[in-house]
Structure 1
C-alpha cells in the first residue's frame, strides 16, 4: 500500500485533535508529504529515511540537527502496514518530553491507515458489485469475462436467487458505508446474499435461496431490516420482493420486485409479488390510458382535495361509513353530504358496483402514477 499525500494530510488533521505538537509524515523515500509546518513539505528528511531502512524508532537530538539533512530534534517512528514499512511519522520537540507520545502516535496513525484501506476496499467491491449486477440483469448469455468477474467477486451464478428491492424515503444519497452497515445487520446467517446500492434512494438484496419454503424467514428478516432503517435513520422504508428464480433468470425476479415495490411504497410496507392480485394487472395498463381514465372519472373534483381525501379514506376503511367518519373526525351526516356531492359532480352512483370500482381505480391511478409523474416532471 502507498502512503498518499491526501491520506497523510488527513492523518495529520486527525492526530492534531489529540496531540498539540508539530507533526510530519514522510514517505519511504524520505520526502515529507504532510506537515503541520507547510514550509517543510517536499523537503528531504534523512532521519526518517534511516527509520525506514532500519525499521526502527529514531530519536533526533539537537546535535543530530547539524549532521543529518532536513531534521529537527524529535522522534521518528516507522509506520507499518501488513508488516511492511510504508512511511514514517515524526514529532518535533524535546525527545525526553515527547517520547511518551511515540507509541500512541504510531498506533493511531496505523489505525487510520488501516481504516482508510478497508474503506477503499469496501468502495472498490461495492462499485464492482454494482456494475456486475447491472450486467447480470441485462445479459442474455454469460460471457467468459462475466463468469470470471463472478468468480473474482465470489458470486455463485448457479444458486437459486430471490431479488428484494428497497426504497428509502427522504434519506440522503446512499453511501457505500450505509450499504456496508445494512449488510452487517442482514448477513448474520446469510453470508452469500448480496447487497447493492441502486441509485440514491434504493438498494437491492439478492438472496441466495437454499429452501423453497422460506417466505416466512424472508419476511422476518426484511421486517428486522425495515425496523433498523426506520429507527436508525428516522425515515420510512418499503420493500418489494420478487419470486425465487434460477440464477440466469434474475431479471424476472427483479421485474417482479419492482412491481411489488410500487405497491409497497403506497402502503409503506413489505409486499411479495406472489401476493399481488389486482395490482399486478393494473401495472400493465399504459400511462396514457391511466391518465385518460382518471380524467374521465375525477376531472370535475380534482381540485377538491377534501373530497379526494374523503374517498381515499373511504376505501382504506373498506367502505365502512362509520369507520370512515371516525377516521376523518367528522359527523356521519357530513360524510353523507360529501358522498352526495361527489355523486353530483362526477355522475357516479356509489350504490352501483361498477361505479364504485371506477372510483377506486381512478384514485389508485391518481395516487400511484399521475402524482409521481407530476413530481418527476
Structure 2
C-alpha cells in the first residue's frame, strides 16, 4: 500500500508545513522516502521498533549511538484500516517536533486513504471499460460475462443507446479533466454508463431517452466542454437496441460524419452518408480521382460548386452568396465541365460531383 512513489508524494506534501527533515519508512525498517535523499534505502531501527510495537518512538541524542540508522526526533506508526503500513519520522529536538507530530501522522494517513480510494476508483473504471468492450464484442451470452454484469450492477437485458463522443484539438488537452466533467454530468442517470474509449473518445450508454432530450443535453454538454477546455467535440448517436453492438456500429458511423463538422449526428438521420461509410477506402479515393480531384488546383471552382449545392441549385442565390455576376457563375460552370466532363446544371452530373465533394475530405484522410 505504501509504495515509494506515494511516500515521496507524502514527503513533498508534508514538507510544505514544516522545515524539518522527514523520512517515510516501510514496515521492514527500510527508508523509502526522505527529504535527505542520501538516507533512502538505509535501515532505520527506531522505525522498525515503532512499527512492531505500534506506538510512537522518541529518539534521543543518546540513542543515536546504539540504534542503527537513527537521528534524534520522533517516529510515529502510520495506520491504514487499523494496520501499521509504515512509519513517519521527524528529525529534530523531540520536545519541539512532538508538538506537530500527531498532526503530520494524521495528514499522512489521510493522503494514503485518498490514494487508496483513487486507486480503487481507477480499478473500477478499468473493469467497467473492459466489460463494455466485451459487451460490444457480443460476449453477453457467457456465464462469466453475466456474473461480471451482476458484480457491476449492470442490467444487460435493457435496451441501450450508444453515444460516441470524440474530442479534437490542435494542442494537448487535459483528457482526465474532460473525462471527469462528462462522467459527473447531470445528463447521466444511475442506469446509464460512461466509459473512456481510447485516448480521445468516450462512450455513453443511455436508456429510455427521446431524441429531443438527447439532442438538447448533448448540445449543452458540447458547449460547456468546448468553452472550458478549448477543444472541439463531436457526437455520434446510434438507435436504441437490445444488441449493444448494433447501436455501437450505428454510433460509430454517425460519429465519422459528425467529426467532419464537429457536430452532433444521429445515425437515423444519415442518408447518402450511410452509403459512403460502407464504401471501402480504396473505392472512395478512386472515385475522387475520377471526379472532383480534377478541381483541386482551382479553389474558386470548388467553392463555387459547394456553394451551388448549398443554395439548392439557384444560380441567382449562388452568385449573390459568392458576390459574383451570374455570367461569371456560368463561366465557372463551363470550366468545371471542361475539367471534369460533368456540368453542374445537369442533375445527374451534379449528383456525381456532390458525392465527390462528400468523399473528398474522407479520401484525403485515407491517403494520409
| Length-normalised TM-score, structure 1 | 0.86
1:165–1:340 distance in 2 versus 1, CA, 3 Å: same
Which residue of structure 1 lines up, in the alignment, with residue 244 of structure 2?
A: 250
1:44–1:291 distance in 2 versus 1, CA, 3 Å: closer
1:110-189 equivalence runs, <5 A: 110-139=109-138, 142-170=141-169, 172=172, 178-186=178-186
1:83–1:220 distance in 2 versus 1, CA, 3 Å: farther
Which residue of structure 2 lines up, in the alignment, with residue 305 of structure 1?
A: 299
Q: Which moved more, 1:54-63 or 1:213-222?
A: 54-63
Q: 1:42 Cα shift?
A: 3.0
Q: 1:282 Cα shift?
A: 3.1
1:96–1:323 distance in 2 versus 1, CA, 3 Å: farther
CA distance in 2 between counterparts of 1:337 and 1:52 reads 90
Which residue of structure 2 lines up, in the alignment, with residue 215 of structure 1?
A: 211
8 A Cα contact 2:178 2:225, kept in partner = no
8 A Cα contact 2:237 2:250, kept in partner = yes
CA distance in 1 between counterparts of 2:314 and 2:15 reads 66
CA distance in 2 between counterparts of 1:175 and 1:19 reads 34
Structure 2 counterpart SS, 1:266? coil
Q: 1:139 Cα shift?
A: 3.0
CA distance in 2 between counterparts of 1:318 and 1:62 reads 91
CA distance in 1 between counterparts of 2:220 and 2:194 reads 16
Q: Which runs of 5+ in 2 are unaligned?
A: none
Which residue of structure 2 lines up, in the alignment, with residue 205 of structure 1?
A: 204
8 A Cα contact 1:176 1:197, kept in partner = no
CA distance in 2 between counterparts of 1:323 and 1:114 reads 67
1:262–1:326 distance in 2 versus 1, CA, 3 Å: farther
Q: CA RMSD in A?
A: 2.8
Matched length: 366
Q: Is the counterpart of residue 37 in structure 1 residue 28 in structure 2?
A: no
CA distance in 2 between counterparts of 1:219 and 1:206 reads 15
Q: Which moved more, 1:168-177 or 1:254-263?
A: 168-177
Which residue of structure 1 lines up, in the alignment, with residue 286 of structure 2?
A: 292
1:1-377 equivalence runs, <5 A: 2-139=1-138, 142-170=141-169, 172=172, 178-186=178-186, 190-207=189-206, 209=207, 211=208, 214-246=210-242, 249-319=243-313, 324=318, 330-332=323-325, 335-367=329-361, 369-375=362-368
Q: 1:359 Cα shift?
A: 1.6
Q: Deviations over 1:240-269 (max 9, x none)?
A: 0011111xx100001110111122112211
1:251–1:172 distance in 2 versus 1, CA, 3 Å: farther
CA distance in 2 between counterparts of 1:54 and 1:140 reads 52
Q: Deviations over 1:189-229 (max 9, x none)?
A: 5123222222222111122x1x3x52222222222321232
